[in-house]
């Protein structure tokens, strides 16, 4: 038995439309949007009766997906968006981009801001962390050379 692939990464957001627009500007494509509810869904998550609006975003190469979820019920119970980068749990999603400066300029218009600064690593990558919609931590990497 072996893993075939990583299917998607899920992120809970408070404003689904803003998150979709942000990730579209980053270059992801909206694959679909739906309301997920019912007894079967609650059995998967352990939340019982739930109603969640989701949007599935696909990377341009078609190999990776990002599932954005906005819980309608039950309400969100914790908020990790302002946790420092050394907090336990999932940290961030990193995207490879062809031009980090042009990407940042586009995302600044959507309210993104740098968590630290853009740095160069051994003349191989330029890297940064940004805070996106609702404070989501996103990594950007530009391969050099």
pLDDT in tens, 97-132: 999 999 999 999 999 999 999 999 999 999 999 999
Element (H, E) at 24: helix 16-26
pLDDT confidence band for 30 (50 / 70 / 90)? very high
**CATH code at 116?**
3.10.180.10
Evaluate if residue 91 carries a pLDDT over 80: no
For 13-30, what is the mean pLDDT?
A: 96
Please report the pLDDT score of residue 84 as a whole number: 80
Query: Which helix H or strand E contains 108, and what residues bound it?
Result: helix 100-108
31-82 pLDDT tens trace: 999 999 988 888 888 888 899 999 999 999 999 999 999 999 998 888 887 7
Structural domain ending residue among the three candidates 73, 103, 119: 73
Same domain for 66 and 102?
A: no
Specify the pTM.
0.89
Q: With respect to residue 45, please indicate whether it lies within any of the assigned structural domains.
A: yes
pLDDT of the residue at 100: 96
Length of the chain: 145
pLDDT of residue 89: 78
Pull the structure tokens for residue 93.
């999603």
Does 88 reside within a domain?
no
How many domains in the chain? 2
**Does 81 fall in a domain?**
no
Q: The domain containing residue 123 runs over which residues?
A: 93-143
> How far is 13 from 18, CA to CA, in rounded Å?
9
In eight-state DSSP terms, residue 87 is S
């Amino acid at each position: 038995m072996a893993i075939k692939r990583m299917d998607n990464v899920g992120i809970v957001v408070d404003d689904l439309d803003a998150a979709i627009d942000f990730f579209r500007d980053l270059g992801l494509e909206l694959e679909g949007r739906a309301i997920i509810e019912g007894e079967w869904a609650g059995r998967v998550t352990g939340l019982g009766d739930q109603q969640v609006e989701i949007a599935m975003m696909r990377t341009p190469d078609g190999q990776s997906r990002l599932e954005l979820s906005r819980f309608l019920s039950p309400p969100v119970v914790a908020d990790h968006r302002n946790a420092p980068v050394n907090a336990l749990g999932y940290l961030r999603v990193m995207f490879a981009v062809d031009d980090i400066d042009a990407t940042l300029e586009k995302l600044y218009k959507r309210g993104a801001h740098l968590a630290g600064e853009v740095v160069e690593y051994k003349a191989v990558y330029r890297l940064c962390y940004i805070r996106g919609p609702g404070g989501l931590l996103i990594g950007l990497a530009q391969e050099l050379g």
